Structure 1
Amino acid sequence: MATLSLGVTGAFLRYALAHRLMEIPNARSSHSIPTPRSGGVGIVLTFLIALPLAGMLGAIGPNLVWSLSGAGAGIALLGFIDDHRPIAARWRLLGHFAGSLWALFWLGGLPALEVFGMTLELGWIGHALAVVYLVWMLNLYNFMDGIDGIASVEAVTSCLSICLIYWLSGYDDLIWPPLLLATSTLGFLYWNFPPAKIFMGDIGSGFLGIVLGILSLQAAWRNADFLWVWCILLGVFIVDATFTLIRRFLRGERIYEAHRSHGYQFASRQLGSHFPVTLGVALINLLWLLPIGLFVAMQKLDGGLGVIVAYVPLLILAVKYRAGESERRAE
């Protein structure tokens, strides 16, 4: 899968250069030279080709295949159109909710949650919250795709981490979807690693966000703790995006407008390079978040408590790197 993604992305890179499908730097950009966009098509096509094949081989259940393929393809198409002809925010959001509803229909909604030892059956309220959760995961992934390699590294390390956790906790059958996503993204990462030769665009970031959200909910149907584990593994993105959004909202800014006030963006400007920030995300995921997620999966640590333990240092980093602070004030 990595080889296929590598080849598809390389072919699309040549196509984008020939047809001038470029991301032009502006005041809100974190890059300084025109760069081809929509390279996430390599991730999308590779994963969507592998998914039904894995389903026919019995490695992935049919409901999950329909959930991932339908929602993923729809969100990817919406993102591809938006990459080339911007769509109004309200119509994008409508598409995001439609894709999330499709996904949850095939998943069966939100399973029971385990919160500090208590089992919560939320019924229709839970299903509504699950839709909002998927929409937020989709959008936060888009927000966090702002420097070279960061969104790709987050997907690869999170997916490989959950594969290891599934294997060690005796849920080998859950490994295939995140493994396919990791390998599909790995081929693209070759082209996207700092300094990036191509960006994934909304087609890639939206697709990764919705797929990762779906996988976290699907795993929770097998073991409620796995939802907490996924939230832990994706903690860097969840904390930075959410903390930034809240601060901008409280300041009265238009939260849907493009900006450069995420913690990782401030950090890349402060360090003068994208590479150390992207590498730092990988190290945090593997050396900090993976062990905590494993403790939760092995029932050595309560899921809710695990999220708190994992997120506190991430919040400290968000404050340190001024996530959500006004760009004018930071200057």
Structure 2
Amino acid sequence: MAYLLQRLEMWDHPNERSSHQKPTLRGGGLAVVLVVILAIGGWVTPVNTALAYMWLTALALLGWINFLDDRGHVRKRYRLASQIFCAIIVLAALDYSPALILLVGFLLTAFTNFVNFLDGINGLAAGQLLLITAGIALLYGQHNESSEAPQLLVALVFAGALAGFLPFNFPDAKIFLGDVGSVLLGFTCGVLVIWLAQSDPQLFHVLVPLGAYFFLDGGITLLRRVLAGENWLMSHREHFYQRLIRMGWSHQRTSVVIWLAQILITLILWQALEAGADNLWFWIVPTVIWGILFSAIEIKFRKYKTVTA
């Protein structure tokens, strides 16, 4: 894969908003996507052919557009339109009502973009997606007694493929996911959760909160920029993880702290599921933990700005 990306000159050159210092190959997420495509073909097709075909069609379209974006530049409106279209065809294959297609499609598109936005330092997005998919497998495996359920097998393969990629992206990045990787993997993770939640509505309350990091960091930062009158479509360095980097934290330290919070959340949710906790508990836990971490980062960053002003 690295050889092919080099031949295609898929280099990410640093700029004033980058968190890396030297040109690095991008597009490595395609290796993970190819493995997941095989899993979809092998385990989704037999149980839901329509979903499998639309899922693969969506990955092909998103892959083409974001590969072109990694190679040069594709207008944001076209990238967003492709994501919305892909969300619609996948949700239609799951027989969602028009109202649910609008609501869930919005959430799926938002999650896809937030994963892409937060893929900015070594290991962060890939590691978080690994922990989320591993958490999905853990919680679904506990909830569903069948160890051969296709949803569980796809989640395990997804997590395994990410685990195989991570050493090339952390602690030192030899290759980046690229837009083609982060968009496709974020979209696939979202579709996997939606598919699982459709099979058992309770799983919606159990699994969606696993992705709270992307929604909260991405959503809070977006809201903050809109309220400040900034152009929210433009690149920036205002995410919480970027504030840690700006304060001098290393990529490794920043990613590990966020991973540890994700692991803590997953373990608490696992125990809550075992104890038969109320659905509200699954939303409160990640919100409180990420809220504490983000608040601590914000306080520390404001003190840092005051000292360095």
What's the TM-score, normalizing by structure 2? Answer: 0.89
1:241 aligns to 2:228 (yes or no): no
Are 2:22 and 1:33 aligned? Answer: yes
Pairing 1:80–2:67 present: yes
Which whole-Å CA distance do the structure 1 matches of 2:140 and 2:16 have between them? Answer: 43
Superposed displacement of residue 171, structure 1: 4.8
Post-superposition Cα deviations, 1:303-330, rounded to whole Å, max 9, x if no partner, equal 234212321221232233239x99xx78
What is the aligned partner in structure 2 of residue 70 from structure 1? 57
Aligned AA (1:318): F
**Cα distance in structure 2, aligned partners of 1:289 and 1:274:** 21
Question: Is residue 309 of structure 2 the alignment partner of residue 322 of structure 1?
Answer: no
- Cα deviation for residue 18 of structure 1 reads 4.4
1:303 aligned residue (279, 284, 295): 279
Mapped contact 1:75–1:96 kept (Cα < 8 A): yes
CA-to-partner distance for each residue in 1:284-317, whole Å, 9 max, x for gaps? 222x221343255447222234212321221232
Displacement of 1:55:
4.2
Partner of 1:162: 136
Given the superposition, is the C-alpha separation of residues 225 and 295 from structure 1 closer, same or farther in structure 2, using an over 3 Å criterion?
Answer: farther
Match of 2:32 in 1: 43
Query: Deviation digits for residues 133-182 of structure 1, max 9, x if unmatched?
Result: 11101101101101011111111111111111112122531301211211
Q: Distance in 1 between matches of 2:274 and 2:234?
A: 41
Please tell me whether residue 52 in structure 1 is matched to residue 41 in structure 2: yes
Instruction: Show structure 1 runs of 5+ residues with no match.
Output: 1-11, 110-122
1:133 equivalent in alignment to 2:110: no
**Which residue identity lines up with residue 223 of structure 2 in the other structure?**
I
The 3-state SS of whatever aligns with 2:33 is helix
Residues in 2 aligned to 1:306 and 1:142: alpha-carbon distance in whole angstroms: 25
What is the match of residue 117 of structure 1?
none
1:213 is the counterpart of 2:182? no
- After TM superposition, give the deviation of residue 19 of structure 1 in Å: 4.6
Q: How does 1:1-331 map to 2 (within 5 A)?
A: 12-55=1-44, 58=46, 61-109=48-96, 123-172=97-146, 173=149, 174-286=151-263, 288-295=264-271, 297-298=273-274, 300-322=276-298
Describe the SS at the equivalent of 1:321: helix
Instruction: Verify the 8 A CA contact 1:226 1:297 in the aligned structure 2.
Output: no
**Aligned residues, how many?**
302
Letter in 1 for 2:298: R
C-alpha separation between the residues in 2 aligned to 1:306 and 1:50? 28
| Aligned counterparts of 1:318 and 1:124: Cα–Cα separation in 2 | 36
Q: TM-score, normalization: structure 1?
A: 0.84
Bigger mean CA deviation after superposition, 269-278 or 21-30: 269-278
Structure 2: state its 5+ residue gaps: none
